Structure 1
Amino acid sequence: MSAPPSTSGEPITDRRELVAWIEKGFKPAAEWLIGTEHEKIPFRTDDLRPVPYEGARGIGALLEGLTRFGWEPVREDGRIIALAGPGGANVSLEPGGQFELSGAPLPTIHETEAEIARHLDEVRSVGDALGIGMLALGFSPTWTRDEVPWMPKGRYRIMRDYMPKRGSLGLDMMLRTCTVQVNLDFSDEPDLVKKLRVGLALQPVATALFANSPFKEGRANGFLSYRAHVWTDTDPDRTGDLPFVFEDGFGIERYVDWLLDVPMYFVYRDGRYVDVAGQSFRDFLQGRLPGLPGELPRITDWADHVTTAFPEVRLKRYLEMRGADSGPASRLTALPAFWTGLLYDGAALDAAWSLVKGWTAEDRARLRSEVPRQGLRTPFRGATLQPVAREALAIARAGLAARARRDAAGRDETRFLDVLDSTAETGVTQAEEMLRRFEGPWDGRLDHVFREYAY
């Protein structure tokens, strides 16, 4: 979330209004856009330490410096905690200072590439002067949880207190993980359901292709995507691959029912976050929320609550693909290319659904559990996940070719998948490449990662 939320709209008492809020995201295919978000891990370039918010070389100073490029500051309690930009783009902070660009919804990945390049140039320009670099990994490789500073955002205080009650790795999720995700549109409920099912089933394939977090506190952690493993022990009430999505008759109403049973974190009222952690939005609809007795929710409260669910694919007024580690700039465009190719062409979507529709709930759960450790080598249905990844990549490439969105040089969007070809063909992830360097030329020293995997 980029800024303190607002409180607006008439009181809501009818569950149907919550369904209608999602339905307002329906768009004809000609209006579908692509929104890419990516996080980066800030570090001090002189001593490779975390960057606090305060101080002349802090995150606050970095945000302030970026305003010279036309970004508008967004403040909470007097501090800049986000930046608003053109077309709906914004820069925001995750709890441990992970620096996020939430890109504007754009028609093509060519434009996404330009947006990311421009943002990274701006961040480097300001960061170089402050001695701040940005690391392109899915998990902080050297610092302990206690060493990571908390950012001054009110909702994070509530989450920090609640997370340890629901899982052992929730604070790691908040402080040390880093992701890239893409947000995609749908035309109607059947299209939404099909895309959601394909996205959930193939999310472990994306996790494997983008696995990039094999280190923790200066050592190999035994995983290829430790970020993905962290999500398996964060909070079972609001995470996972949502088996009910694959049940006959699934639709938006069923998803809303699930969200109503996801425990709340907060309600924003009169400029402050009210701690209602663990309480029920169902009770809120009936004016029986213990934290705000007699108060009824507004639609803005529902929009806030939707953002506190963290499944592998999140449904809002669009679909968020959430399964990948952050990584180098070439992979920040590869992720939207992968999912756009699979989901934005009808033939490709049909082919992707044919690939996964026979998988059982047990198949999907096993992939989510084992892929973070084994990547593309994960055993699956008599083989490994690698041939599935190759087939999914081929479908995505065909989908992008059919879109035929070309840049000024006449190139279509398939070029953004090229960086994934070697991973899919060899089965060797970026995480495994880093581990080989760690055990070889790096001689077990992770200061190298701050040079070789910084933006």
Structure 2
Amino acid sequence: MSSPSHAADTPITVRDQLIQSLAKGEKPRADWRIGTEHEKFGFRLDDLRPPTYEGERGIEAMLHGLVRFGWEPVQENGHVIALLRDGASVSLEPAGQLELSGAALQTIHQTCVETGTHLDEVAQVAGELQLGFLGMGFQPKWARDDMPWMPKGRYRIMRAYMPRVGKLGLDMMTRTSTVQVNLDFASEADMVRKFRVSLALQPVATALFADSPFTEGKPNGFQSYRSHIWTDTDAARTGMLDFVFEDGFGYERYVDYLLDVPMYFSYRKGQYIDASGQSFRDFLDGRLPALPGELPTMRDWSDHMTTAFPEVRLKQYLEMRGADSGPWSRICALPAFWVGLLYDDAALDAAWDLVRDFSVAERHALRDGAPRHGLKLPFRNGTLLDLAREALEISVAGLRRRAERNADGQDESHFLDVLQEIVDSGKSAADRKLELFHGPWQGNIDRVFSEFAY
């Protein structure tokens, strides 16, 4: 989840400013970039508990330890809550999940180097603190009450608001981790086409990257329990956004959606002002109860955009939000999958042909069924695995045509090998962990921390 926006405090005087803020994301193809984000769970090596913020082995100590690698600390009310370096950031999710928000890079090769460098730095500091880090979609062992809370103002407001709008919002905050990729568009029409393709295929990513089959040490009956949690978090700011597929969709329609998303807060003078459940439309009219008589700025709008959590989110780029976190190889595979589909014209055409006739009911059936059934979900005359296989073939071809090669002459398609193995076997990471749990682990979930930590 985002830290305070760095957008200018320009007053919003006309609604068109909001529309233009999205249009400013348009870039020529030569300037398209790849931004990859991933989260991971920390745990203490001796008792496997998640570290608190404070203490000699806490998350604060972890952040201070990373400063040696050239990261610049960011503070909120005297607490280090993020680190910045070369266009990237390390930040904290609500229960201390450590997030790398990567820089905007040209190739998957660069993304994978960035990710590997970060994980190596984390491992060095974590080893000194007797901590470990695990990439999965959902905390496999600990209950919600066992999870610590980080000292960030927006989380205090969200923590109080979440139980009013869904049963699983606090689990989303404290017990989930994801990997996502942020991608560019050339024009409004290009944005619309990419938005529709990625939204329709987001359940494929959920199934391919499914890695959250345990809750509190036991199988939970899901492939991606993380994905399921979003279905009962807050219906006003989550979901499949059916209007994206309607005629006339564009920046203006997305602005209307955001204006109907209830607010969480306004960030003023270094403090988060609780505006939970209030209307940004009222804010535009100077009638926000939390700040009576005040008008919003573009910084307020930028912050507000980060509080919508659909399966694909539009800012000045498109965010793919459907995947569980995982090991280094799958962190690299997610941007590769979507770049292959969306950054090559022939691939984007083929992907649109694949999904263009999906009905509203079919899109929702995929979204609702993928978390539990994964690749085995029945779809049309086959399963979601068949759809995943076709999408992966299109992505591989797209990356090969991109022909971005590393020093060894490899193009980016080899980053999809881990997904090809999943498609060929029909077994997700969740399936393989369940096999271990029922087999060699003999029902002991603690083994996941020793065998799958970074």
TM-score (norm. length: structure 1): 0.99
Kindly state the Cα deviation for residue 14 of structure 1 after the two structures are TM-superposed: 1.4
Corresponding residue pairs, total = 454
**1:254 aligned to 2:226?**
no
Number of the residue aligned with 1:337: 336
CA contact (8 A) 1:2 1:91 kept: no
1:89-108 equivalences under 5 Å are 89-108=88-107
Q: Give the CA deviation at 1:7.
A: 7.5
1:114 match: 113
What residue in structure 2 maps to residue 442 of structure 1? 441
Counterpart in the other structure of 1:9: 9
How far off is 1:214 after superposition? 0.2
Retained in 2: the 8 A contact 1:377–1:385? Answer: yes
CA distance in 2, matches of 1:424, 1:10: 49
Superposed displacement of residue 13, structure 1: 2.8
Rounded to whole Å, the distance in 2 between the matches of 1:181 and 1:192 is: 17
AA of the residue aligned to 1:287: G
1:85 aligns with 2:88: no
1:188 aligns with 2:204: no
Equivalent residues of 2:7, 2:302 under 8 A apart: no
Distance 2:2 2:61 in 1: 17
Aligned to 1:214: 213
Would you say 1:48 and 2:64 are equivalent positions? no
How many Å separate the matches in 2 of 1:442 and 1:37?
31
Gaps of 5+ in 1: none
Partners of 2:269 and 2:105 in 1: CA distance: 34
Please give the alpha-carbon distance, in whole angstroms, between the structure 1 residues aligned to 2:392 and 2:374: 15
Paired with 1:337 and 1:117, the residues of 2 have a C-alpha distance of 15
Q: How does 1:311-350 map to 2 (within 5 A)?
A: 311-350=310-349
| Residues 47-69 of structure 1: CA deviation (Å, up to 9, x unaligned) | 11111000010000000000000
Q: CA deviation at 1:5?
A: 4.0
2:10/2:299 contact within 8 Å kept: no
Q: Please name the residue that 1:223 is paired with.
A: 222
Contact 1:2 1:82 in 2 (8 A): no
Instruction: Tell whether 2:396 aligns with 1:397.
Output: yes
Q: Distance in 2 between matches of 1:9 and 1:99?
A: 29
Question: Do the aligned residues in 1 keep the contact of 2:4 with 2:303 (CA within 8 Å)?
Answer: no
Counterpart CA distance in 1 for 2:62 and 2:434 is: 32
What is the deviation of 1:423? 1.1
Cα distance in 2 between the residues matched to 1:2 and 1:91:
11
The Cα of 1:8 is off from its aligned counterpart by 3.9
What CA distance in whole angstroms lies between the structure 1 residues aligned with 2:63 and 2:440?
A: 36
Q: Is the 8 A contact 1:95 1:150 kept in 2?
A: yes
Structure 1: distance between partners of 2:138 and 2:63:
22
Q: Does 1:205 align with 2:204?
A: yes
Q: What is the distance in 2 between the residues matched to 1:396 and 1:49?
A: 39
Shift of 1:432: 0.6
Distance 1:7 1:312 in 2: 24
Distance 1:309 1:13 in 2: 23
Partner of 2:308: 309
Note the C-alpha offset of 1:3: 3.8
Answer whether contact 2:95 2:149 (CA < 8 A) is retained: yes
Which whole-Å CA distance do the structure 1 matches of 2:370 and 2:32 have between them?
A: 31
Question: 2: CA distance between counterparts of 1:385 and 1:360?
Answer: 15
Q: Structure 1 residues 255 and 2 mapped into 2: Cα distance closer, same or farther (>3 Å)?
A: closer
Contact 1:26 1:317 in 2 (8 A): yes
Whichever residue aligns with residue 148 of structure 2, its letter is P
2:67 aligned partner, one-letter code: T
Percentage identity across paired residues of the two chains: 65
Give matches, 1:26-425, under 5 Å: 26-86=26-86, 88-425=87-424
Is the contact between residue 3 and residue 76 of structure 1 (CA under 8 Å) also seen in structure 2?
no
Partner AA of 1:251 in structure 2 = G
**Contact 1:2 / 1:90 at 8 angstroms: preserved in 2?**
no
Task: Please tell me the residue identity of whatever aligns with 1:452.
Answer: E
Classify the secondary structure of the residue corresponding to 1:114: helix
Secondary structure, counterpart of 1:290 in structure 2: coil
Letter of the structure 1 residue corresponding to residue 220 of structure 2 = N
Structure 2 unaligned residues grouped into runs of 5+: none
Contact 2:181–2:319 under 8 Å retained in 1:
yes
Do the aligned residues in 2 keep the contact of 1:43 with 1:132 (CA within 8 Å)? Answer: yes
SS at match of 1:232: helix
Whole-Å separation in 1 of the counterparts to 2:304 and 2:13: 15
Q: Is the 8 A contact 1:4 1:76 kept in 2?
A: no
Partners of 1:12 and 1:285 within 8 A in 2: yes
SS at match of 2:406: coil
Distance 1:6 1:191 in 2: 26
Report the counterpart of residue 23 of structure 2 in structure 1: 23
What do residues 90-140 of structure 1 show as CA deviations (whole Å, max 9, x unaligned)?
000000111000000000000001101100010000000001100111100
For 2:316 and 2:369, locate their aligned partners in 1 and report how far apart those are by CA, in whole Å: 31
Deviation at 1:6, TM superposition (A): 5.4
Q: Distance in 1 between matches of 2:20 and 2:4?
A: 24
TM-superposition CA deviations, 1:14-43 (whole Å, max 9, x none): 111001001110000111000000000000
Note if contact 2:134-2:453 (Cα within 8 Å) is conserved in structure 1: yes
Q: Is the CA contact (8 Å cut-off) linking 1:337 and 1:414 kept in structure 2?
A: yes
CA distance in structure 1 between the aligned counterparts of 2:336 and 2:289, rounded to whole angstroms: 45
- Structure 2 length-normalised TM: 0.99
Query: Cα RMSD between the aligned structures?
Result: 0.9
- Indicate the SS of the match to 1:304: helix
Residue type matched to 1:69 in 2? F
In structure 2, what residue type is equivalent to 1:353? W
Question: Whole-Å Cα distance in 2 between the matches of residues 8 and 337 of structure 1?
Answer: 33
Structure 2 Cα separation of the partners of residues 329 and 386 of structure 1:
23
Q: Aligned-pair distance for 1:2?
A: 5.3
